[in-house]
Amino acid sequence: MTLTKKIIIFMIAGALLGLLLNLTEWNQNAYIDTYLTGGLFHLVGQLFIKSLKMMVVPLVFVSLFCGTTALREPSMLGSLGGKTLLLYLFTTAVALILALSFALMVGVGTGAEIPTTLEYAAKADKPLIDVILNIIPGNPVMAMAEGNMLAVIVFAILLGFSASQAGGAGAKVIEFFQSFNEVIMKLVMLIMHFAPYAVFAILTQVFAQLGIDAINTLAGYFFTVLSLLVFHALVVYPLLLKLLAGISPAMFLRKMEAAWSFAFGTSSSNATIPVTLRTVTERLGVNKSVASFTIPFGATINMDGTAIMQGVATVFIAHAYGVDLTTSQLLTVVLMATIASIGSAGVPSAGLVMLQGVLLQVGLPVEGIAIILGIDRLLDMTRTAVNITGDAAVTCIVAKSQGQWNEDVFADPHAGEIKD
């Protein structure tokens, strides 16, 4: 059996067990709550997520360093960076326009009840100027320690570029980091083998806590976001792949399965970077030099799924409070949510924190977030899967246009598959 199949089976089993615990109300049994879902399952899930996170900073730094050195010519870095950035922004704008139009069309949130206890502790969102200032790490070690990915990315690119220009001395450093890169990927593979058990534990816990009742009360919002997310992943990206690069969407989607299950389990694009990177290079045939640049970059700045949630949530909250959004407010949402998706980190719930900025900008009550908070976890899982699909799709398109895409690897259904 392949690892992906095993993960999917364990994932479904976990969701079913969680629902069972919830429906039978065993989830409220003190022993089950303390020792099983809140104890053992919590432990297994968190250990796994932490092990993946453990790999993110070293992996992003080393692979980006190696990726940059492989580009050699500064102009290659420029054209790769330019195309990638443009496509990332474009897909996010499309996501937002679709989300807003659909949400307005179905009138999501009209007549929604606003709970009387609206406790939502607003967290500070970062002003744009800070986001820009943080791109250059005043202290790269601190940027790594704090997991400030954009700064780590910039440092790795600058250092990689210098190494490729530094002759013999540079070559030695490059050789070391190339070996280091392989060692890191080996460890990622080892960790991936634990994924089925961890995903089982995480899903049991989430579903035992939430059940389906949570969805019932917010069904309109939930299914609007969900259908847009599915549409974006299964229609928009495939169209772009086909039209811009002539790449087969069916094969692409099929090979994304493993990365999806990790995104689903961790709700974090960052924690999924090792798996997304492996998927696009080993399974989809993208050259490492391109992927090691575009994937960490995308996990940090490209979040189409998050943008969709933010678009729908803004319309939902506006309607719930009886506000009609004007055209200029809608344009502000597109702009702000695009910036918000760049500024938000690829970690669980980051999208909700950044939603505050969008709401404030259009003058809507931030407390509205409290209404959708309860079911956000389920949507977070799904939008994270969409976020990384966007990164992978853009990566394939850019790689093909740069002549850095191996069609044979892509066409082989079993390329890079991990057996369990």
**Residues facing residue 419 across a β-bridge:** 2
- Does 314 interact with ligand ASP (rule: CB under 6 A)? no
Rg (CA), the chain: 21
Residue 351 within binding range of ligand ASP, rule CB under 6 A? yes
User: Please, are residues 198 and 51 in contact by the beta-carbon 8 Å criterion?
Assistant: no
How far apart, in Å, are the Cα atoms of 74 and each of 135, 376, 420?
20, 42, 42
Which of 67, 140, 160, 348 is in the footprint of ligand ASP by CB under 6 A? 348
Task: Please choose, from the candidates 276, 280, 256, the residue with its C-alpha nearest in 3D space to the C-alpha of residue 268.
Answer: 276
Q: Which of 268, 289, 395, 404 binds ligand ASP (CB under 6 A)?
A: 268
Q: Which two tokens stand for residue 87?
A: 């496509």
> Burial level of 415, CB count in 10 A (0-12/13-18/19+)?
middle
Q: Is 80 in the site for ligand ASP (CB under 6 A)?
A: no
User: Residue 299 Cβ, how far from ligand ASP at the closest point, in Å?
Assistant: 7
Among 164, 181, 300, 387, binds ligand ASP (CB under 6 A): 387
Per rule CB under 6 A, is residue 404 in the interface with ligand ASP?
no
In this chain, which residue has its C-beta nearest to ligand ASP? Answer: 351
Decide: is 306 part of the binding site for ligand ASP (CB under 6 A). yes
Closer residue to ligand ASP (CB): 170 or 374? 374
Closest to ligand ASP by CB, 163 vs 315, is 315
Kindly indicate which of the ranges 3-11, 76-84, 108-116, 344-352 contains the residues binding ligand ASP, using the contact rule CB under 6 A.
344-352
63 closest CA partner among 186, 228, 182, 146 = 182
Euclidean distance between CA atoms 235 and 174, whole angstroms:
40
268 or 395, CB closer to ligand ASP?
268
The span of 22-30, 219-227, 265-273, 324-332 binding ligand ASP (CB under 6 A) equals: 265-273
Tokens representing residue 135 in the block: 């791109």
Residue whose C-alpha is closest to residue 279's, from 129, 85, 84, 415: 415
Q: Which residue has the tokens 């990915």?
A: 149
Looking at this protein, which amino acid is placed at residue 402? Q
Q: Closest CB to ligand ASP among 303 and 366?
A: 303
What is the nearest approach in angstroms of ligand ASP to the Cβ of residue 37?
22
Q: Which range, of 157-165, 219-227, 239-247, 378-386, touches ligand ASP by CB under 6 A?
A: 378-386
Residue 344: CA count within 13 A, CB half-sphere: 33
From the list 2-10, 136-144, 181-189, 340-348, the region that binds ligand ASP by CB under 6 A is 340-348
* Least distance to ligand ASP, CB of residue 387, Å: 4
- Does 269 help bind ligand ASP (rule: CB under 6 A)? yes
Q: Which residues contact 267 (CB under 8 A, 6 or more apart)?
A: 348, 349, 377, 380, 381, 384
**How far apart, in whole angstroms, are the C-alpha atoms of residue 58 and residue 41?**
27
Q: Which stretch binds ligand ASP (CB under 6 A): 26-34, 41-49, 182-190, 381-389?
A: 381-389
**Residue 356: CB minimum distance to ligand ASP, A:** 12
Q: How far is the CB of 102 from ligand ASP (least distance, A)?
A: 18
Q: Give the tokens for residue 46.
A: 């968190």
Residue type, 35: Y
Residue 303 binding ligand ASP, by CB under 6 A: yes
Cβ-proximal residues to 252 (8 Å cutoff; 6+ apart), any chain: 237, 238, 241, 284, 392, 393, 396
When binding is defined by CB under 6 A, the residue of 103, 350, 366, 393 that contacts ligand ASP is 350
Among 64, 149, 253, 347, binds ligand ASP (CB under 6 A): 347
Does 368 sit near ligand ASP (CB under 6 A)? no
Q: CB–CB of 262/188 below 8 Å?
A: no
Task: Quickly count: other Cβ atoms within 10 Å of residue 154's Cβ.
Answer: 18
Which of 29, 79, 349, 406: binder of ligand ASP (CB under 6 A)?
A: 349
Residue 267 makes contact with ligand ASP by CB under 6 A: yes
Would you count residue 383 as binding ligand ASP (CB under 6 A)?
A: yes
Maximum CA extent, the chain: 69
Binding site for ligand ASP (CB under 6 A): 267-269, 303, 306, 346-351, 380, 383-384, 387
